[in-house]
Amino acid sequence: MLLRMYRFTDKISLLILKTLSLVMTLLAEGLAVIIGSGGAEKRGLLGIITRLLGVFSIILVTVGAVILGITRRLLGTTARLAGGAAVGVTRASGRSVNTAMARRSARVEMDAGIREDPLRVQNRILSALFVITLIALIGIVLWATRPTNDPLQGISVVNVNPITSGADIGSTEEAVSLAIATAIPTATQLPEVLQARGSIAYSVRENGQTDLWVANVGGNRNPVRITNDLADERDPAWSQDGRKLAYASNRDGNWELYIYDLITGATNRMTYDLSFQGAPRWSPDGAWLIYENYLGNNLDVYVLPVLDPNQQNTRLPTSSEWPDFAPDWSQNDGRNLLFVSWRDGNQDIYLTSLDTPETAINLTNTPERHEDTPMWSPDGSRVVYAARDGGIDKIFVKSVADLDAGPELIGVGKSPTWSPDGNAILAVVETIDATHFTAYPYNSNGIPQVIAAPLGADQVVWTEATLPANLLNGNGLPLRAPALYTEQERAFEGSPPFILQPIRDVDVAQSQLSDRVNDSFNAMRERVVEKSGEDFLGRLDDAWWPLGYRPQAGEPVCNWHLTGRAFSVNRASAIVGFPKSLEVIRENTPTGTQWRLYLRVSEDGQSGQLGEPLRFMPWDFNSRNSGDVIAYEQGGRFYDNTPVGYYVDLTQIAADFGWQGMTAADDWRANTNGINYWMFIKPTGLNWVEAMLELYNESQLGGCAPRRPTPAPSATPGA
């Protein structure tokens, strides 16, 4: 009876296992069909379900196998016990049965209880094969539903027209293949300091011209050039809605104001005046522009109607005999104004109101700093501005509500602008060989973020509006301005590799420069004539110095003039005459004192077409001999007022052609010949020795040759 129960249990277990196998096979096939036809999200969800079913099946089979094994063991034990009892009964009744026959009968019964049933062995083999097959099936399902790195997974087909750029698409299948060939970029999380998004506008000085660019903050950041005239466009200013950009340009001969519509691409000229206009800013209602205007030999702040062309521009009653410039209009109430002025003897920021424009409050009042480029915060409670402090351009914020509170130092940079939400400040940061925009957090968490910018970028402004799609899709303007010149040079084999070339029709003792820089000088000289009306570089104090030339006292012996990569303008132009033809602006930098030269333009045959008025106060070297002890010790002092007339930035023109002003010697206040405002050099990455070795052998450098380490004496043979 027990043996029958044992065999019946084996049959039931085999039926259960085969049924479970059939169910799992059908389930796996159904899931495979569904997964193959579903999207990425459906495949991911069903893959998870399949994994859970696989794990559940393994657990179920394992538990079933354990239970069946226990049952079999119990039945087997019962059978063995029954066999043992039968043997005992036979032995007890030995009086009536033959002892030998009883032993044989007992041995047969025991062998029948102990011998392995063939059906049981077969079931075990089938069970093991089933478990192995089931595990393999689950492994195949898990492998088929694993996550992959397929770049096409999850990409949906979008409008394919922009992909072709005018090419024909032959079929729908070809269009789909083109659409999925490039993965669609997903939106990345912007740092907190850039969460305001919107777009920026800025100017870039490249190859002798300044143009305007725009770019989105976040999303498509590819910058778009919106001007590319051979003249200059600068001073960008966003309207309140971000649709229009006001700026200044001299494209029509003299400096005027223009408005560019980003939606339509139209440009409207707003001023028609022979005087200079620049630095526009919008009123919050978009009906007015506030700007600089140079009339009557005085730079003042004016307002101009935008919507009614019949109205005339109006000068604010804040005007003074000193320059007033760089205005800004509060955007929260439209009643308060900012501007920069020299009226108190240094360059400070002033606050006034349209209700009482005759009253101007000195907001910064810092004689030790010269502030510039102020801008209201969006809520009108603070002002951000730039100032050079300790030779470094820095960004400050000043409260308008508490005029006695000191300014907050934000970081390094210039030309700051607020983010549209007032939680960040974006500034221009310049290094020796690069320019970038730095976003500083304000009233927010996060860390400063650096945004790549082209070399020569400046005057960045930020609006909450994003750029229109038609502008981002291309406006046909080239990405680079044409080169100003081509340096024709010829290298010779051996040493030295280069020679000197003449600079023709220049009044100087040695009218020669290195073959590697002479073409840039000639092109620069022509540009100076074009911009100023004067051939100022046709007369120089120095160009190339031959070997053996004896410098004046206080000038370095190993001088850049010896390399053929330096020239010096006429020094007397900055200290003799009235008005002087050259004005010198002192600039403190981390590397020392630098000078910026402004050349007075010719007054013959021009009415504002050349140059622009001075905003900065020149340095008066003649005051050293005026009896002023402080001026003597400081090597001069600032003028009492800015000179009238129009000037061109000679230092900027020189930089356009690769020439840089020479840094003053450390002892320039006492050493007149170490001031160096007159000297320009063009190293192009070379140090002085390397530049000299282009014209001479090292043996010709004399005491300026680099010193070689003395070799250690060799050991004497036999010592």
Segments making up each domain of the chain, as ranges: 2-144, 196-472, 500-703
End-to-end C-alpha distance for the chain, whole angstroms: 114
Residues 226-245 as b/e (b if ≥16 CB within 10 A, e otherwise) read bbbeeebbbbbbbbbebbbb
Name residue 145's amino acid: T
Record the tokens describing residue 706, joined without a space. Answer: 């680099």
173 pLDDT above the threshold of 90: no
Tell me the Ramachandran region of residue 345: left when phi exceeds 0, alpha when psi lies from -120 to 50, beta otherwise. left
Of the candidate ranges 65-79, 152-166, 254-268, 561-575, the one whose mean pLDDT is the lowest: 152-166
Element of type H or E holding 634: helix 629-634
Strands (E) across 332-433 are located at 336-341, 348-353, 361-362, 371-376, 382-389, 392-399, 408-412, 414-418, 424-430
Q: What is the pLDDT of residues 499-551, one digit of tens each?
A: 999 999 999 999 999 999 999 999 999 999 999 999 999 999 999 999 999 99
Pairwise CA distance, residues 558 & 591, whole Å: 20
Name residue 473's amino acid: N
Record the tokens describing residue 293, joined without a space. Answer: 């205007």
User: Which residues have CB under 8 Å from 356's CB, separation 6+?
Assistant: none
Nearest to 459 by CA among 434, 430, 424: 430
Torsion, Cα of 16, 18, 24, 27 (10° steps): -100
Write down the pLDDT at residue 12. Answer: 57
Record the tokens describing residue 434, joined without a space. Answer: 């690069």
Task: Give the position of tokens 């109205």.
Answer: 311
Q: What mean pLDDT do residues 256-264 have? A: 96
* Residue 192 and residue 445 in contact, taking contact as beta carbons nearer than 8 Å: yes
Which band of pLDDT confidence, cut at 50, 70 and 90, is reported for residue 288? very high
Name residue 80's amino acid: R
285 pLDDT above the threshold of 50: yes
Name residue 213's amino acid: W
Q: What mean pLDDT do residues 126-130 have? A: 57
Pairwise CA distance, residues 259 & 243, whole Å: 10
Write down the pLDDT at residue 492. Answer: 92
3-state secondary structure (DSSP) of residue 443: coil
* Residue 602 and residue 402 in contact, taking contact as beta carbons nearer than 8 Å: no
Pairwise CA distance, residues 31 & 189, whole Å: 36
Pairwise CA distance, residues 438 & 451, whole Å: 6
Q: Is the dihedral of CA 239, 245, 247, 250 positive or negative?
A: negative
| Helices 40-92/118-144 angle, 10° precision | 170
Record the tokens describing residue 507, joined without a space. Answer: 């009044």
Other CB atoms within 10 A of residue 111 CB:
10
199 pLDDT above the threshold of 70: yes
Q: Where are the alpha helices (DSSP H) in 315-473?
A: 469-472
- Alpha carbon 190 to its chain centroid, in Å, reads 13
Burial of 451 (0-12, 13-18, 19+ CB in 10 A): middle
718 pLDDT above the threshold of 70: no
Pairwise CA distance, residues 509 & 504, whole Å: 12
Record the tokens describing residue 264, joined without a space. Answer: 């339509």
Percent of the chain clearing pLDDT 70 (strictly above): 71
Pairwise CA distance, residues 82 & 2, whole Å: 9
Nearest to 14 by CA among 22, 3, 2, 26: 22
Pairwise CA distance, residues 171 & 42, whole Å: 29
2 pLDDT above the threshold of 50: no
Burial of 65 (0-12, 13-18, 19+ CB in 10 A): middle
Write down the pLDDT at residue 22. Answer: 52
3-state secondary structure (DSSP) of residue 417: strand
Task: Give the position of tokens 């059906």.
Answer: 119
Q: What is the pLDDT of residues 606-648, one digit of tens each?
A: 778 899 999 999 999 999 999 999 999 999 999 999 999 999 9
For the chain, what's the residue count?
719
Pairwise CA distance, residues 131 & 60, whole Å: 11
Write down the pLDDT at residue 165. Answer: 28
* HEC assignment per residue over 212-270: EEEEECCCCCCCEECCCCCCCEEEEEECCCCCEEEEEECCCCCCEEEEEECCCCCEEEC
706 pLDDT above the threshold of 70: yes
* Residue 525 and residue 535 in contact, taking contact as beta carbons nearer than 8 Å: yes
Pairwise CA distance, residues 642 & 239, whole Å: 32
Write down the pLDDT at residue 515. Answer: 97
3-state secondary structure (DSSP) of residue 524: helix
Q: What mean pLDDT do residues 302-313 have? A: 85
Record the tokens describing residue 553, joined without a space. Answer: 């006292």
Element of type H or E holding 111: helix 99-114
Pairwise CA distance, residues 406 & 320, whole Å: 27
Is pTM beyond 0.75 here? no
More confident residue, 481 or 523: 523
Write down the pLDDT at residue 507. Answer: 97
Of the candidate ranges 15-19, 85-89, 386-390, the one whose mean pLDDT is the lowest: 85-89
97 pLDDT above the threshold of 50: no
Nearest to 651 by CA among 201, 205, 203: 205
Q: What mean pLDDT do residues 669-682 have? A: 96
174 pLDDT above the threshold of 80: no
Write down the pLDDT at residue 189. Answer: 79
Pairwise CA distance, residues 613 & 342, whole Å: 14
Nearest to 478 by CA among 229, 228, 656: 228
CATH numeric code, 196-472: 2.120.10.30
Query: In whole angstroms, how large is the CA radius of gyration of the chain?
Result: 44
Percent of the chain clearing pLDDT 90 (strictly above): 58
Pairwise CA distance, residues 112 & 381, whole Å: 104
Other CB atoms within 10 A of residue 608 CB:
20
